[in-house]
Structure 1
C-alpha cells in the first residue's frame, strides 16, 4: 500500500551523552524502529550526528533530514537546540513537517551494497556471528589482531564485544545491533582504533540469521606486513609495494567511503548534482586504488626470484568466492554469474590467493564487457594430461585473432569496448594474471566463444596442474 503519513511536529530531549530521554510518540516510534529504547542512546544515525554537532559546538542547527527505519523513508526538518549544563547539557529536538513514505527497496539495497562492499574491502578483521552476535569464525590479515584471534580461540562462544573494548558505549546489557554498527573499539595487541560494522544476514531485522562483523582500522600499520607474501625478496627495489601502497591505501579508502556516504545521502539530504559529483569522486578513487594495486602487483611479478606457493586449490570453491566478491557489481548491471559443475571438486596445484586474484580479474572483465542482462558462466573441469582448467565465458563483443595475440601484453586494454564504461583500466590486469598463471606452472589463454553463430563472446581459460 503506497501510503504517506504527515506529522506536523515531534519533540524530544537528549542528555550530555546523546541519550534520548523523552520523546513525543512519532519520535519514540522512530527510535524503537531503529533498534533503540527510551530512554536510550539516540538510535537514528542522521539525527544523532546533528545532535552531536549541536552539543559539541554549542550552536543551534536547523536542517532537513532524511532517515530510514528499515521499512520507510522518514524526512522532515530538524531543529537542534543545545541545552545548558544546568538543563542537562544535552539538546532539545524539534522535528517539523516530517513524513513517512515507502522507500524503493532497490534504491535502499543498492546504496547499502555499495557501502558494505567498500567496508568489506577495507576490513582487516572479519568474522561470522550467529543471531546472538556470538563469534562462530574469525579471520584476520592484521598482525596486531593476533591476540584478538587467540582470545577467541581460548574462550569461544561469547558475543564479539566480549573480546573488545567499545569506545563511548555503555554496554552493561546486550544492545541491539543497530546501536553497535558504526561504533569504535580497541583490543589488546593493537594500538590502532577500529570501526565496527555489523551487517545482518537475513531479509529484514526481524529475520536476522546472523551477522558479518567487519573491523576497519583507522590507519595502516606503521610497518607493512610482508609475512604472508609468496615473493622471494631480493635487492630488487619495490617502491610502489613497500612505500607508496601502505601510505596511500588508507587515505584512498577514506576518500571512497566518504564520497559514497555523500552520494548515497546517508549523512543527510543533498542536491542531485552534488550526489553525482560525489559519485564521480568515488569512481576516481576506486580507479586510483585499482591502479595502485596493479602497479604493486606488477612490481611483485617482475621482481627477480618471484615464485608462488604450491598447495591444493579447489577451482570450484575459488570460483564461488570470486563471483561472490563481485556479486554487487554484477547485480548493478543486471548480469548473472553462474557456476557449472559445482558438485564435484576440481583440485589444482597452485596458490589459492593467486588463483582467486586471477578469477576476480577475469570475472570483473567479463562483467564490464558483457551487455546488461546477459550471463557470465564459469566452468571448472578436468582437461586431461594431468591438467585441470576453469573457463570464464562472457557474452561481450569477443576477440579476433589480432586482439588475442596481444591481449596479455602490458598496458593492453583488451581492444574491446566496455558496455559498463570500464575503459579507464590500467591495462595490467591480464598481463599480471598471465604472469601469475605461468608462475604456478599453468597458463592463461583466450578463445572466441562458439556458443552459436549469432552469439559473440570470449572464453578465458586458466589451466593448472592437477593434484594427485
Structure 2
C-alpha cells in the first residue's frame, strides 16, 4: 500500500491499547462528538476494528468506513499501517464526506459508546433501579478480590466497593453523575472508568442498569502471560481444570466474539446487508450458548465438590422473585410473555445464600420463558408453610409426563429437546444448590397443563424468648 500523505485530509496516531493519542481535524472532532476523549480509546467502532486488526496482525489496511457522531454521518477512506516507531498504528484519512444526521437526541452516539464499553470492559454487572448489585462477572485475575466482595454484597450499591476519584458526596449518586466517573479498585494498580447503561422506558434506569468497568491502562501481566512459557507437568483432569483454568481462558475470547458480532448485527459500524446481519445474530446466539455451557460446567464442578457449602443468610423470597423477574423481564416481553411476580410489600423470609437462590430462580424463570407459548403468563407465588418458605414458578407450557418428571433433574437431561440453547445442567445444578441450603427443588406437572417448579427453603422464623 502506497501512503500518499499529501492527499490526506487528516492524520492520526494510536498506541498499543488502540487509544487515539493525537489526531488532526476533522477526525479529532469526530472522536470527541462520538463520546470519546483525546487521548482515549477510539470511539468510532469501524475505525477501532481496522486499527485493532492492523496492530494485531501487522497489516497495512485501506478501507472505506462509515461512521456518525451526534450531528453528522461521515464516510471516508482510511489507510492504516503499523507505527514503525511505536506499538500502535498510523492513520491517514482522505475523501471525507459528511451528511446531516436526523438524530437530535443523540441515541446513535449513545449506542456506539455502549457498544464500545461492552466490548472492552473487564468487569460487567447488572444493577437494580437503586444501583444495587444483582450480579457481577469478570475474568480478570486482577479484579478477583473486588468481584468476590461484590458477590458477597449483592443487594448493596456498587459504589461501596470502589473509590470514586475526586468525589466526597454521599453515595449513591445519580447515575448520570457516575457514568464516566474515574475510580480506583482495591487490589488494582490501574485507573478505571465506570460506564452505566440505563434500562427501562420512559424513565431511564427504572428497571435497572448495566455497569461496566473499563481500564485506562493495559493489563501488562495478562498481556505478558499470553506470550509466556507453557506450564510444564501433567495436564489436570478436565473436571478440576474447568473452573480454575479452562473457563477463564475460554470466556474472554468468546465474550469478544459475542461483542463483535453484536456490533455487526446492530450495524454500529455502518449499514449491512440483511443476510450478514442475520449471520452475526447467529454468531451471537452460538457464542451465548457456549458461555452458558462454560458457566454450567463451572457450576457443576463446584456443586459436585465434596467440600461445597453455601453461605446461609436472611433472605426474602418475594424480593428475590421480583429481582429475577426484573432481570428476565425484557426476554419475556420479546416473546410476549408476562411475568406475574409477588407484589411489593409481600415478604416471605427464608434462610439461604442470596446469589444461589437468585441463580436458581433465574434458571427456573428462564426455562419457563423458553418453553411457554407466546402470549402466556409465568406466575411466581410465595408462601410460608410451617418451617418451610416456598416459591413456585408456574408456566403454561406443554407440561411434563410422569416419566419426564422423574428424569428432568438428571445431569445433561434435555428431554429430547435440541437447538433451544439449553445445556441440560441447569435443573441438576439448581437442585444441588437447593439441597446444599437445606431445601428441596421439585416439580408438579401434567401433559398440556404446564409445569410448577417448587423451591422449598428453611423459613426464617424468629426464635421465641425463654
Counterpart Cα distance in 2 of 1:20 and 1:161? 35
In the alignment, is residue 428 of structure 1 matched against residue 425 of structure 2?
yes
1:49-448 map, 5 Å = 49=48, 61-67=62-68, 69=70, 75=73, 77-80=75-78, 91-92=92-93, 94-96=95-97, 98=99, 100=101, 123=123, 142-145=143-146, 158=165, 189-190=187-188, 196=193, 198-201=195-198, 213-215=211-213, 238-382=240-384, 384-414=385-415, 422=420, 424-448=421-445
Counterpart Cα distance in 1 of 2:103 and 2:337? 27
TM-superposed deviation, 1:351? 1.5
TM-superposed deviation, 1:366? 0.9
TM-superposed deviation, 1:409? 1.6
TM-score by length of 1: 0.66
The 8 Å contact of residues 18 and 52 in structure 1, kept in 2 or not, is answered as: no
Counterpart Cα distance in 2 of 1:456 and 1:112? 46
CA 1:334–1:113: 2 relative to 1, 3 Å: farther
CA 1:459–1:362: 2 relative to 1, 3 Å: same
TM-score by length of 2: 0.66
CA 1:326–1:216: 2 relative to 1, 3 Å: farther
Counterpart Cα distance in 2 of 1:397 and 1:125? 34
TM-superposed deviation, 1:111? 10
Counterpart Cα distance in 1 of 2:101 and 2:111? 20
Counterpart Cα distance in 1 of 2:239 and 2:36? 54
Counterpart Cα distance in 2 of 1:255 and 1:54? 14
Q: Tell me the alpha carbon deviations over residues 38-90 of structure 1, each in whole angstroms, 9 at most, x when there is no partner.
A: x9989862476389689989978451414363xx9x65531347899xxxx87
1:449-464 map, 5 Å = 456-464=449-457
Q: Tell me the alpha carbon deviations over residues 200-250 of structure 1, each in whole angstroms, 9 at most, x when there is no partner.
A: 437899989997542167698999xxxxxxxxxxx9972322332233222
The 8 Å contact of residues 321 and 342 in structure 2, kept in 1 or not, is answered as: no
Counterpart Cα distance in 1 of 2:366 and 2:337? 11
Counterpart Cα distance in 1 of 2:253 and 2:275? 25
TM-superposed deviation, 1:298? 1.8
Instruction: Look up the match of 1:228.
Output: none
Question: Tell me, which stretches of 5 or more residues in structure 1 are unaligned?
Answer: 1-10, 163-174, 224-234
SS in 2 for 1:238: helix
CA 1:385–1:208: 2 relative to 1, 3 Å: closer
Q: Tell me the alpha carbon deviations over residues 434-458 of structure 1, each in whole angstroms, 9 at most, x when there is no partner.
A: 12112222111112389xxxx7421
Counterpart Cα distance in 1 of 2:449 and 2:311? 36
Which stretch of structure 1 is more off in the superposition, 336-345 or 364-373? 336-345
Number of aligned residue pairs: 404
The 8 Å contact of residues 314 and 347 in structure 1, kept in 2 or not, is answered as: yes
CA 1:303–1:343: 2 relative to 1, 3 Å: same
Q: Tell me the alpha carbon deviations over residues 367-395 of structure 1, each in whole angstroms, 9 at most, x when there is no partner.
A: 1111223322212222x121111111222
CA 1:93–1:111: 2 relative to 1, 3 Å: closer
Counterpart Cα distance in 2 of 1:281 and 1:128? 29
The 8 Å contact of residues 390 and 456 in structure 2, kept in 1 or not, is answered as: yes
TM-superposed deviation, 1:267? 3.0
The 8 Å contact of residues 196 and 213 in structure 1, kept in 2 or not, is answered as: no
The 8 Å contact of residues 54 and 82 in structure 1, kept in 2 or not, is answered as: no
